[in-house]
């Protein structure tokens, strides 16, 4: 079954001019971008997005860092997209992320760790809805879709 998931390219990614490189990795894997935009995150949306971290001592610092520049938010689609995108990101701490993952190849930080990715299908639905209006997501088929999966995989 096709799933949708959220990817946020964080301010560190913008500042290091890695946007195209990171998106390229997901596209080469076979994930389909069905929504993408640049936006400036507000304290309000970040408080909602990171509500599960509100009692952590780094909560405000995390929100502040996410507002230093605009971010690029993407909605990606594919079979088991949530797990695939999250696994490709690697461990949260870039120093511990395996080589070959996005964080393992591009960062040395726990906080400035290149991307946010949805971690569960339930969170993916909530996060995509938080950052995208329905009319900002597009339903289309990639020309090479039939070559991404066996016909019994979706």
Q: Residue 66 has what pLDDT?
A: 97
One-character DSSP codes across 104-126? HHH---SSS-SEEE--SHHHHHH
The model's pTM: 0.95
Q: Residue 69 has what pLDDT?
A: 98
Q: Residue 151 has what pLDDT?
A: 87
What does CATH list as the number for 2-147?
3.30.70.141
Under-70 pLDDT residues of the chain? none
Reference 79, options 152, 153, 147; nearest CA is 153
Q: Residue 70 has what pLDDT?
A: 98
Q: Residue 1 has what pLDDT?
A: 82
Q: Residue 130 has what pLDDT?
A: 98
**Does 116 participate in catalysis according to the annotation?**
yes
Q: Residue 33 has what pLDDT?
A: 98
Q: Residue 154 has what pLDDT?
A: 77
**How do the domains of the chain map onto residue ranges?**
2-147
Residue 7 to residues 65, 103, 134: CA-CA distances in angstroms? 17, 13, 17
């Amino acid at each position: 079954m096709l799933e949708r998931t959220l990817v946020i390219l964080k301010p560190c990614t913008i500042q290091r001019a890695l946007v195209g490189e990171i998106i390229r990795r997901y596209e080469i894997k076979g994930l389909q971008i069905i929504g993408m935009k640049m936006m400036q995150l507000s304290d309000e949306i970040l408080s909602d997005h990171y509500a599960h971290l509100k009692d952590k001592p780094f909560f405000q610092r995390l929100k502040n860092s996410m507002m230093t520049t605009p971010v690029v938010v993407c909605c990606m689609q594919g079979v088991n997209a949530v797990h695939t995108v999250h696994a490709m990101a690697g461990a949260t701490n870039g120093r511990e992320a395996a080589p070959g993952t996005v964080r393992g190849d591009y960062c040395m930080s726990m906080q400035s760790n290149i991307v946010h990715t949805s971690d569960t299908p339930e969170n993916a639905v909530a996060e995509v809805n938080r950052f995208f209006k329905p009319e900002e997501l597009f339903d289309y088929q990639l020309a090479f879709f039939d070559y991404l999966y066996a016909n019994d995989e979706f």
